[in-house]
């Protein structure tokens, strides 16, 4: 099986003021991609829903590419690391 | 911080200054995204603080050795974000890890930077007698909200921060109601584009800034090489680090009675005249000798035992000193003199082992003395604290330099602040702490200085945008030290500092209160910027949440209304526009004064700006052309608008590129 890594799916400015609604839309997007609510739930790492819209999820390369092609997605990129300065 | 704020002119004792006019920032919340917090530190005492600001919606999250009662009216928020880190580090064992699965700080870095930004006053603090004074933050009554997103990875002995976690911390901080976000972390070059989420800080910062939250970031510690600055998005305040007017001279006396003042944080007893050695082959030995600091362990114990050892290193990192000290100590040596290139990364050696740094010139003097006598000896006395003249201010060696590699037309860093040998709180179990306080160096320490100043400015001018606050800081910065002496950029060799070292200069908090004019930016300006760097309409529309169309031809990045002008590829004449907003007296008249870069012609139209009750915003055009016939490096100048009370100065940086996109090396 292809390895899943954390990817950040960035959707830009949020479309709704209700954070629950924003998170729900993230779950739906992931659910459509992965095929089940259970998989979507297991894949989700974070829902970014206050300052902007997006989510972090465990995805394979091909899943990341698929979701990146959706028109509402600005970018999908793998997680990276910062260091203290 | 026992010197930082007095040095910058923000003394608590002055009856009327920015600090007192803003009640020390009491209504402002500074969000710190870092390694967490050590809540027991005295710097988080809430003595005399009023109730938590009404706009605050954050909470204190409980976890390992941390519960909500650790928060108070000073430390008003504490959360932790670890999911991204856990997913990427499957070997991490939360049960066995040294780190706390909570907002509690293990590393001490988060506690340190929080102190610098907004720590409460704590008197009579020193590092074993050095750098004594009162520790406090820039905005000592501002509230602190800590977001822990950096974790200790035991396997690799490193602290690292997943961008997924940092982005979540920023998302929560925006929700919680922070007024300023301070991030003393970053990635290394090559950088990802600032208009996409390849850099989480950049993206989170974009949305924070659109909501009026100023985001302050460390510029990085990859100096003194050019093109190393990080966190370079135009909506971020990127901070460089300088030294203070403070040093720790350490007398070393040679057997011929010549005294040399090295630099150290040596607080042990005097080491009387002791045999001195430079490990080198006398010419008749089969042993291995090395006088290189990193290779002292190659020497036999006999060479160093009972002696003070002189070594040379080409590295300016404190790691060389600690490696050398460790090798000498292990061999039974009594002290080490490290001859190195000038740098600012000074640290005490473990267990108060005598280790003193000198430059190559002084190191060579010592070497010549050793070679001149059959029984060289040397005495080391404890370090002392020297404050004020003749100690000059320098941009620290480690501070990352411009130009900005992503968008060279965007000047980075923006501003400089003290970030070398800063004494502030840490955890009580951090190596080299003294009573919960430690000296640290880095742009990590410089960034929260600016966050503290921003908090005070925000308290005084709650309606100013993050861009206006940045402009106020940049246009009023000192281009000398606070006493009028020039600021050098430390490196090899030392030179006069320029905008790629320190942006507008060294932050001058009092001057920033009344900048006269500001170069403001709003959403539409950021859209123009994204259009200019090639983003497509649909992406920009999604980013900003409304339909946008880039003009055709696309706008020029040179027109982004920054408090700086940087032209990285001048060939033909260019004309660019800036707009200034009057935040000073209604009826003000400003006249332009240009100091053009070498060989560059700069014409400004109009030459006079007249503001009144009707006219608060005016634009001017700058025409720039070059006389150079070759590809040059950057040359620097300035453009100032001068009224009877204000000098609004922005840096000018111009590089001629007759042959463009050309690696200029031959």
pLDDT tens sequence across B125-154: 999 999 999 999 999 999 999 999 999 999
In this prediction, residue B199 carries a pLDDT of 83
Residues in chain A, overall count: 85
Cβ density class B185-205: b for 16+ within 10 Å, e for less: bbbeeebbbbbbbbbbbbbbb
Please answer yes or no on whether B167 and A77 come within 8 Å at the CB atom.
Answer: no
The yes-or-no verdict on residue A36 having pLDDT over 70 is: yes
Residue in the block written with tokens 């919680």:
B176
In this prediction, residue B195 carries a pLDDT of 45
In this prediction, residue B533 carries a pLDDT of 87
The yes-or-no verdict on residue B16 having pLDDT over 90 is: no
Rounded average pLDDT over B369-373: 97
Query: What pLDDT band is residue B535 in, cutting at 50, 70 and 90?
Result: confident
In this prediction, residue B342 carries a pLDDT of 79
CA B584/CA B612 separation, integer angstroms: 10
Mutant choice from B207, B211, B422, B547 vs A, greatest count of A C-beta within 10 A: B207
> Mind spelling out the 3-state secondary structure of B276-298?
EECCCCCCCCCCCCCCEHHHHHH
**Own/partner long-range contacts of B528-535 (Cβ < 8 Å, ≥24 apart):** B528/B555, B528/B559, B528/B560, B529/B234, B529/B557, B529/B560, B530/B195, B531/B555, B532/B556, B532/B557, B532/B559, B532/B560, B533/B193, B533/B195, B533/B407, B533/B557, B535/B195
In this prediction, residue B40 carries a pLDDT of 98
Query: What pLDDT band is residue B315 in, cutting at 50, 70 and 90?
Result: confident
Q: What are phi and psi of B25, to 5 degrees?
A: 80, 25
Catalytic residue among B222, B318, B444, B643: B444
ipTM > 0.95 (yes/no): yes
In this prediction, residue B341 carries a pLDDT of 86
Given the DSSP bridges, would you call strands B130-135 and B122-127 parallel, antiparallel or unpaired? antiparallel
Round the average pLDDT of chain B to a whole number and report it.
Answer: 95
Q: Measured between beta carbons, which residues in chain B are less than 8 angstroms from residue A82?
A: 150, 160-161, 163, 166, 185-187, 201
Q: Measured between beta carbons, which residues in chain B are less than 8 angstroms from residue A84?
A: 34-35, 107, 109, 150, 159, 161, 184-185, 442, 444
The yes-or-no verdict on residue B592 having pLDDT over 80 is: yes
Half-sphere exposure of B586 (CA within 13 A, CB side): 3
The yes-or-no verdict on residue B530 having pLDDT over 50 is: yes
The yes-or-no verdict on residue B345 having pLDDT over 60 is: yes
Given the DSSP bridges, would you call strands B143-148 and B75-80 parallel, antiparallel or unpaired? parallel
Note if the bond before B84 is cis, omega within 30 degrees: no
DSSP string, B341-388: ---S---PPGGG--EEEE-HHHHHHHHHHHHH-SS-EEEE-----EES
Rounded average pLDDT over B622-643: 97
The yes-or-no verdict on residue B15 having pLDDT over 90 is: no
In this prediction, residue B231 carries a pLDDT of 94
- Tens digit of pLDDT for each residue in B94-104? 999 999 999 99
Of all residues in chain B, the percent with pLDDT exceeding 90 is 89
In this prediction, residue B197 carries a pLDDT of 44
Query: What pLDDT band is residue B539 in, cutting at 50, 70 and 90?
Result: confident
Residue B110: enclosing H or E segment and its boundaries? Answer: helix B109-118
Rounded average pLDDT over A6-24: 95
The yes-or-no verdict on residue B113 having pLDDT over 80 is: yes
CA B80/CA B169 separation, integer angstroms: 8
Q: Which residues contact B424 (CB under 8 A, 6 or more apart)?
A: B1, B43, B111, B112, B113, B115, B116, B119, B135, B437, B438, B440, B445
Of all residues in chain A, the percent with pLDDT exceeding 70 is 99
Residue B518: enclosing H or E segment and its boundaries? Answer: strand B517-518
- Alpha carbon A56 to its chain centroid, in Å, reads 4
- How close, in Å, is residue B261 to chain A by CA atoms? 29
Cβ density class B424-458: b for 16+ within 10 Å, e for less: bbbbeebebbbebbbbbbbbbbbbbbbbbbbbbbb
> Mind spelling out the 3-state secondary structure of B262-276?
EECCCCCCCEEEEEE
**Any CB–CB contact under 8 A between A2 and chain B?**
no
Please answer yes or no on whether A77 and B196 come within 8 Å at the CB atom.
Answer: yes
Half-sphere exposure of B488 (CA within 13 A, CB side): 14
Q: Which residues contact B148 (CB under 8 A, 6 or more apart)?
A: B34, B35, B36, B37, B78, B79, B80, B81, B102, B103, B104, B105, B110, B169
The yes-or-no verdict on residue B493 having pLDDT over 90 is: no
Specify the DSSP class assigned to residue A72.
T
In this prediction, residue B196 carries a pLDDT of 45
Of B81, B162, B184, the CB nearest to A79: B162
CA B595/CA B642 separation, integer angstroms: 13
**Any CB–CB contact under 8 A between A3 and chain B?**
no
- How close, in Å, is residue A50 to chain B by CA atoms? 6
**Any CB–CB contact under 8 A between A18 and chain B?**
no
Please answer yes or no on whether A46 and B447 come within 8 Å at the CB atom.
Answer: no
- Alpha carbon B141 to its chain centroid, in Å, reads 22
In this prediction, residue B193 carries a pLDDT of 53
For residue B73, the tally of other CB atoms under 10 A from its CB is: 17
The yes-or-no verdict on residue B281 having pLDDT over 90 is: no
Of A11, A48, A85, the CB nearest to B221: A85
What ranges make up the beta strands (E) of A1-85? 5-12, 44-48, 53-59, 75-78, 81-84
- Tens digit of pLDDT for each residue in B34-72? 999 999 999 999 999 999 999 999 999 999 999 999 999
In this prediction, residue B618 carries a pLDDT of 98
Query: What pLDDT band is residue B378 in, cutting at 50, 70 and 90?
Result: very high
* Catalytic residue check, B34: yes
Helices B443-460 and B109-118 pack at an angle, to 10 degrees, of 30
CB B635 within 8 A of CB B598: yes
Q: What are phi and psi of B135, to 5 degrees?
A: -85, 135
């Amino acid at each position: 099986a292809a390895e899943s890594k954390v990817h950040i799916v960035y959707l830009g400015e949020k479309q709704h003021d209700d954070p629950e609604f924003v998170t729900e839309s993230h779950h739906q997007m992931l659910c459509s991609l992965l095929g089940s609510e259970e998989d979507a739930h297991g894949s989700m790492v974070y829902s970014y829903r206050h300052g902007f819209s997006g989510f972090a999820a465990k995805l394979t390369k091909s899943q990341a590419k698929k979701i990146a092609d959706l028109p509402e997605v600005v970018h999908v990129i793998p997680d990276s690391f910062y260091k203290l300065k | 911080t026992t010197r930082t704020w007095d040095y910058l002119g923000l003394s608590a004792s002055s009856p009327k200054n920015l600090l007192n006019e803003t009640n020390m920032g009491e209504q402002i919340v500074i969000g710190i995204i870092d390694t967490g917090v050590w809540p027991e530190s005295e710097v988080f005492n809430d003595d005399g603080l009023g109730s938590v600001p009404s706009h605050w919606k954050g909470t204190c999250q409980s976890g390992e050795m941390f519960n909500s009662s650790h928060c108070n009216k000073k430390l008003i928020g504490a959360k932790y974000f670890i999911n991204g880190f856990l997913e990427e580090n499957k070997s991490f064992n939360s049960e066995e890890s040294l780190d706390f699965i909570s907002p509690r700080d293990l590393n001490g870095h988060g506690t340190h930077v929080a102190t610098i930004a907004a720590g409460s006053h704590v008197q009579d603090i020193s590092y074993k007698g050095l750098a004594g004074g009162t520790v406090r933050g820039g905005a000592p009554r501002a509230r602190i909200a800590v977001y822990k997103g950096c974790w200790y990875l035991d396997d690799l002995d490193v602290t690292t921060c997943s961008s997924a976690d940092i982005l979540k911390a920023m998302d929560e901080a925006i929700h919680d109601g922070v007024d300023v976000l301070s991030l003393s972390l970053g990635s290394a070059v090559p950088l990802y584009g600032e208009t996409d989420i390849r850099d989480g800080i950049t993206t989170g910062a974009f949305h924070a800034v659109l909501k009026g939250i100023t985001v302050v970031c460390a510029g990085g510690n990859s100096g003194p090489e050019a093109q190393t600055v990080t966190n370079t998005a135009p909506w971020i305040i990127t901070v460089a680090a300088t030294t203070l007017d403070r040093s720790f001279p350490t007398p070393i006396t040679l057997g011929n009675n010549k005294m040399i003042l090295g630099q150290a944080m040596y607080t042990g007893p005097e080491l009387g005249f002791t045999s001195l050695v430079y490990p080198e082959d006398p010419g008749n030995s089969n042993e291995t000798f090395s006088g290189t600091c990193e290779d002292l362990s190659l020497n036999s114990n006999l060479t160093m035992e009972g002696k003070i050892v002189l070594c040379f290193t080409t590295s300016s990192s404190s790691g060389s000193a600690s490696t050398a000290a460790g090798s000498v100590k292990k061999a039974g040596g009594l002290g080490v003199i490290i001859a190195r290139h000038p740098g600012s990364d000074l640290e005490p050696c473990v267990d108060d082992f005598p280790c003193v740094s000198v430059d190559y010139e002084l190191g060579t003097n010592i070497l010549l003395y050793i070679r001149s006598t059959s029984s060289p000896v040397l005495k080391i006395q404890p370090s002392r604290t020297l404050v004020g003249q003749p100690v000059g201010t320098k941009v620290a060696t480690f501070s990352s330099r411009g130009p900005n590699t992503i968008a060279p037309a965007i000047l980075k860093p923006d501003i400089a602040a003290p970030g070398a040998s800063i004494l502030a709180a840490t955890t009580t179990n951090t190596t080299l702490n003294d009573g919960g306080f430690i000296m640290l160096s880095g742009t990590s320490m410089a960034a929260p200085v600016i966050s503290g100043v921003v908090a005070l400015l925000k308290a005084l001018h709650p309606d100013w945008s993050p861009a206006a606050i940045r402009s106020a800081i940049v246009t009023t910065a000192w281009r000398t030290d606070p006493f009028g002496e020039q600021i050098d950029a430390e490196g090899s060799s030392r030179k006069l500092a320029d905008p790629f070292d320190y942006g507008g200069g060294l932050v001058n908090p009092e001057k920033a209160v009344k900048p006269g004019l500001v170069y403001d930016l709003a959403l539409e300006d950021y859209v123009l910027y994204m259009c200019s760097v090639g983003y497509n309409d649909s992406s920009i529309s999604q980013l900003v949440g409304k339909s946008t169309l880039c003009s055709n031809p696309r706008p020029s990045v040179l027109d982004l209304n920054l408090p700086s002008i940087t032209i990285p590829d001048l060939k033909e004449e260019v004309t660019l526009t800036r707009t200034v907003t009057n935040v000073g007296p209604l009826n003000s008249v400003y006249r332009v004064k240009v100091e053009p870069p070498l060989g560059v012609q700069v014409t400004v139209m109009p030459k006079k700006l007249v503001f009144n009750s009707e006219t608060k915003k005016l634009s001017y055009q700058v025409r720039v052309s070059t006389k150079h016939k070759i590809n040059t490096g950057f040359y620097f100048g300035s453009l100032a608008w001068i009224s009877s009370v204000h000098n609004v100065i922005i840096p000018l940086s111009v590089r001629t590129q007759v042959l463009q996109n050309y690696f200029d090396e031959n």
